[in-house]
Amino acid sequence: MIRECNTHGYFSDDDLCPACNSEGKFIMRGNERDTIARRLALVLRHAPEKFDLEMDINGWIDVKDIVFQFKKSNERRFHWLRPHHFRAISETDPKGRYEVRGNMMRATYGHSLEIELDLPTENIPPLLYFPCSPDEAENLIEVGISPSGRSHVHLSATIRAAAEAGHVHHARPTLLEVDTARMVASGDTIWHAGVTVYLTDAVSGGFLSILPDDDPEFEAARARWEEE
């Protein structure tokens, strides 16, 4: 569920505003948020043409056009939809997957479409992380990392975030440590996208090393998986 506090803005999955404990105004149910977010991922990352929507070179689409096309595709289901619902989804997404500026909205990462990123490139952490299968780790050290089904390589800000991302595809992923300080010094561009997500065109093998399995933060992530 998403609600709106008059003082602190949108909040989700809480009965009361976490900042002031006010009940706030109801915006949308959790299942409605999830349904719209799935459609947004398709529209903003992969196939805006399926909804007859036009995306600019930086990935932006007019929110009013999205509302119109969602309603057109299923008026009965989305008759209540308004532009502020998309801002609510954007501002409460824990991973920062969406961004709204004025009347425009875009996905911050995960594109399979070729777009020109105008995301921040300052204050990049000196180390980032990339999950992979244990079988491919040594090969990546040799040949580097290239996008696979996406327009950019996705790197994680923390060991925990990388471990959780890798666990989606591999029971026990291996983590590669990326020397982003050297990448930036060498002229590579790295963009800050979501809360813990960074993007780059590719990573040369010389900037990679395998994170030891006995790293405390990595061990803690594996312990959580075993409890599931």
pLDDT exceeds cutoff 80 at 78: yes
Residue 180: phi and psi, rounded to 5, are -75, -25
Boundaries of every domain in the chain? 2-107, 127-227
- Integer Rg of the chain from CA: 19
36 CB contacts (<8 Å, ≥6 apart)?
Answer: 28, 70, 78, 81, 85, 86, 89
Please state which of the ranges 105-109, 134-138, 214-218 shows the lowest mean pLDDT.
Answer: 214-218
- Per the model's pLDDT, the better-predicted residue between 75 and 48 turns out to be 48
Hey, what are 136's tokens? Answer: 């491919």
Q: Does domain 2-107 have CATH number 1.10.10.970?
A: yes
Indicate whether this model's pTM tops 0.85. Answer: no
Q: What is the per-residue pLDDT across 1-44, written as a single tens digit (0 to 9) for each?
A: 999 999 999 999 888 888 899 888 999 999 999 999 999 999 99
Which CATH architecture does the domain made up of 127-227 adopt? Alpha-Beta Barrel (3.20)
What is the rounded distance in angstroms from the CA atom of residue 108 to the CA atom of residue 115? 11
Q: What is the per-residue pLDDT across 177-205, written as a single tens digit (0 to 9) for each?
A: 999 999 999 999 999 998 899 999 999 99
